[in-house]
Structure 1
Amino acid sequence: MPRTKISKDSFKGQSIYVGIDCHHKSWKVTLLTDKLELKTMSRDPDVNSLADYLKNNYPGAEYKVVYESGFNGFTVCRKFRDLGIDCQVVHAMDVPTSHKDRQQKSDKSDSRKLAQLLRSNGFEGIDVPPPHIEVDRKILRQHYTLTKMLTAEKNRVKAVLFQFGIEIPGRFASSQSRSWSRIYIEWLRAVPGLDPKEQLTIDNHLDTGLLLRKQLLKVTRQIRDLSKEDNYKEDYRNLSSIPGIGTLGAMRILLQIYNIERFKTMDELCSYIGLMPKMYGSGERTVTGELTKRGRKDIKVTLVEASWVAVRKDPALTLRFNKLILRMNKNKAIIRIAKNLLNRIKHMLTHKIEYELGIVV
């Protein structure tokens, strides 16, 4: 029986859709064509090996790859693209999951679902940032993590005091206990009437907290240095002119948005940040709910906090806020102000200008 020889152009004009369920030690990979499911296989987590397999077995085809965002970030995507293979990363929440899928979940079904989603063009891929942006974002993430750890340690100290019936003296303001002022720490080091072993417990929490605070100060300085680099300094200076936006807020916005031109409309930007409400529609009835939980929570919080400052310092926003609270409560009104502020930020980053008081874009 004559054999069909596969040439280098045998699959020219055809597409191979590749869904990958990524894990540390292995990948589950499903291959589809426009009409067929070819196979599902286990592979070593190696981009070059999988690329060679595709080129050797399906030469001349157009390869399209997708995997869920997760622990491996965008490195796998960049490696595929460097090899000339189209690769996209999909948000896990954008992968449709039926009740049956939740009851019978497996790596095989996950990879097959991804490949089918890619073939039907049923999702919008996550933006893949340049490597230096991904690296710089890590510094901000470290700051966020250290802040949470330090806050937890301060709360543990208060919990120990409460457990043993020790009240914080009234001479210490709440701000002093939150910031761990020098005189407050001195009092904690020698709490009157406390058993030596109980004091030892507090000292251990203090030592841990002070180490965290030292590291947090170091990371904060690194973020300040980052803001002075050529990539950021102009936009950072402009964003810092916004009432209520400081070093951390400006760098959060810059590193998450990084390229304002990738947002074609204001709705796209609001959706990315998470300033879009949930919508429930049925027939002629449409209900607008609370803000969606998706989006960049860090920027959303930064914008809302800055908005409370801006409504006091910017006459145009003061006027708008006063009109809004006539028909809604203050918390809902400040979300509208945050959207106005985000619109101003889009305008500022697009035109490379500073913030101007008394103007609403």
Structure 2
Amino acid sequence: MAASDDLSALPIPPQHRMALASMVREYLFLLSEDKLLRAEIRTATMRMHPDRFKRLTSIIGVGETAASHFLAELFSPERFNRAEEVTSYLGLAPVVSQSGNSKARAKLRPVGQKRLRGILVEAAWQWTWRDPEAKAIYNHHFAKHGIGQKAIVAVARKLAIKLWRMTVETPPSPVEGVARGAWSG
């Protein structure tokens, strides 16, 4: 790891070197544990929800990490009745605050699944770079606000809704798919 090498190379007094070495070892241990847990979550999710997992990873920009965390963190997506409930649960829904005659301002309330929200934002960047639909959403919000972070969160919100719909809606059977065209989710 580059970070641990950088830390170990710092010029520090000898009496502090042992403490730093201990912290670097702990850091490397935690990184390896995190990697193992992520792999375990991915494996369990693929085993428990193989069809949903396959549908989610079919979206450009949504890889195994995003799909497995979405399914694991949302756990029972059927409990949500509307897309707004999902985005609110994930902390991706804007909350409008207005007092008196002041202009209404929408901002995100830092609630919900912080790790999943971060993963969805990263997946939204991938989706934006690779899919014209997502790029159009990003460009629309960027033109409206002029702030890249707001635009990508709007894309992440749309992506979360798309993922949720793909987990709760039943895709057409192969025979129906041929008759009506491919399922768009």
Tell whether the 8 Å contact from 1:238 to 1:352 is kept in structure 2 after alignment. no
Name the CA distance, whole Å, in 1 between partners of 2:67 and 2:158: 17
Equivalence for 1:287: 104
Please tell me whether the aligned partners of residues 316 and 360 of structure 1 are also in contact (alpha carbons under 8 angstroms): no
Alignment of 1:82-93 (within 5 A): none
CA distance in 2, matches of 1:275, 1:227: 23
User: Hey, what does 1:273 align to over in structure 2?
Assistant: 90
User: Pairwise mapping of residues 1-12 of structure 1 onto structure 2 (< 5 A)?
Assistant: none
Per the TM alignment, residue 251 of structure 1 is displaced from its structure 2 partner at its CA by 2.1
Name the counterpart of 2:174.
none
**Which residue matches 1:227?**
45
- Select the residue among 36, 48, 54 that pairs with 1:237: 54
Quickly say closer, same or farther: Cα 1:323–1:209, change in 2 above 3 A.
closer
Q: How far apart, CA to CA, are the structure 2 residues paired with 1:284 and 1:242? A: 43
- Aligned partner of 2:160 in structure 1 is 342
Aligned to 1:179: none
User: Out of 332, 353, 361, which is 2:150 matched to?
Assistant: 332
Residue 235 of structure 1 and its aligned partner are, at CA, apart by: 1.3
Question: Contact (CA 8 Å) 1:277, 1:288: kept in 2 or not?
Answer: no
CA RMSD of aligned residues (A): 3.2
Taking the TM superposition and a 5 Å limit, the aligned residue runs for 1:106-255 are 154=3, 158=6, 161-164=9-12, 200-229=18-47, 231-255=48-72
In 1, Cα distance between the equivalents of 2:103 and 2:136? 30
Farther off after superposition, 343-352 or 264-273: 343-352
Match in the other structure for 2:136: 319
Identify if the C-alpha distance between structure 1 residues 220 and 296 changes in structure 2 by more than 3 Å, giving closer, same or farther. closer
Q: Report the equivalent of 1:307.
A: 124
Q: Which has the higher helix share?
A: 2
Instruction: Write 1 or 2 for the structure with the bigger share of strand.
Output: 1
Matched letter for residue 223 of structure 1: I
Rounded to whole Å, the distance in 2 between the matches of 1:360 and 1:163 is 57
Give CA-to-partner distance per residue, 1:177-214, whole Å, 9 cap, x none: xxxxxxxxxxxxxxxxx96x666555434433443344
Q: Equivalent residue of 1:290, what SS? A: strand
Counterpart Cα distance in 1 of 2:115 and 2:122: 11
| Partner AA of 2:138 in structure 1 | F
Classify the secondary structure of the residue corresponding to 2:104.
strand
Which of these two proteins has the greater Rg computed from alpha carbons?
A: 1
Show CA shifts across 1:244-278 (max 9, x none): 33333222211222222221122211111111223
Bigger relative contact order (CA 8 A; separation at least 6): 2
Matched to 2:41, the amino acid is I
Q: Partners of 2:42 and 2:113 in 1: how far apart? A: 21
Unaligned runs of 5+ residues in structure 1 are: 1-149, 165-193, 354-358
| Structure 2: gaps spanning 5 or more residues | 172-182
Which residue identity lines up with residue 74 of structure 2 in the other structure?
A: I
Residue 227 and residue 163 in structure 1: after superposition, are their counterparts in 2 closer, same or farther (change >3 A)?
same
Within a 5 Å distance, the mapping from 1:61-100 to structure 2 comes to none
CA distance in 1: counterparts of 2:93 and 2:126, whole angstroms:
22
TM-score, length of structure 2 as denominator length: 0.74
**One-letter amino acid matched to 1:239:** L
Q: Tell me the residue number matched to 2:75.
A: 258
Query: Shift of residue 163 of structure 1?
Result: 5.0
Counterparts of 1:225 and 1:327, CA distance in 2? 41
Q: Please give the TM-score of this superposition, normalised by the length of structure 1.
A: 0.41
Counterpart AA for 1:259: S
**Partner-residue secondary structure (3-state), 1:245:** coil
